[in-house]
Structure 1
């Protein structure tokens, strides 16, 4: 295993243990803020995520989530919450699209850490079709919640 693969594996393990953004924020949103919430379930493996996003002035002002599932799904939600907060809505939509493209490529597209940050660690998941949905579940929830909020 290369040192980069080891680093990526460690990022996933760290986020699976210390889940950033975990714990749904309250439903009361300040004036001038819109919000959306999405619940996603993978019936094949049982991964489950509820994600809430708040948008103010065209940017993600808060993202929180709660869920249960494998290390990949929980780590992916944690990485997403770190990455998304403060991004413009359009920027986050672009990052979600890039993440989706990398994961659906079956290893043919290399993840750019400049674009995806720690989410680039999930590049290796693309080679395992059964795990792609695990990594994508929170990102699908974020996309749905953004659509509700905007």
Structure 2
């Protein structure tokens, strides 16, 4: 009987689905209709990122609005900016800039991509952002300052 007991249990075990914890406990996508207007977040994140790179704002202040990958990317940029300021002897100052045009696109439900033009006295830059609805709020999954 011991030879038949394991073979009888094998088919039962083979039909069982593997538990994937991310399906239940990971980030859950949200529909655009279930989320607030992303325009204020796009503008505020742009302002914050410019100030963070200038050294006038702490990166931690936007940590809840960005994914881990974006946070690490911005952290590298912050370190490089701080090294450049230190090498040239420039002090940290709050940047003076104005937000120009904002172009916003919705490539799919629950995702918004935007390009924000930022003007200051010396140059004009573009900030590209991608927001995705995760856990019933917008989170930046990509931010690039050009």
TM-score tier by shorter-chain length is under 0.3
Give me the TM-score of the superposition, normalised by structure 1.
0.26
Higher strand share: 2
Higher relative contact order (CA 8 A, sep 6+): 1
The structure having more radius of gyration, on CA atoms, is 2
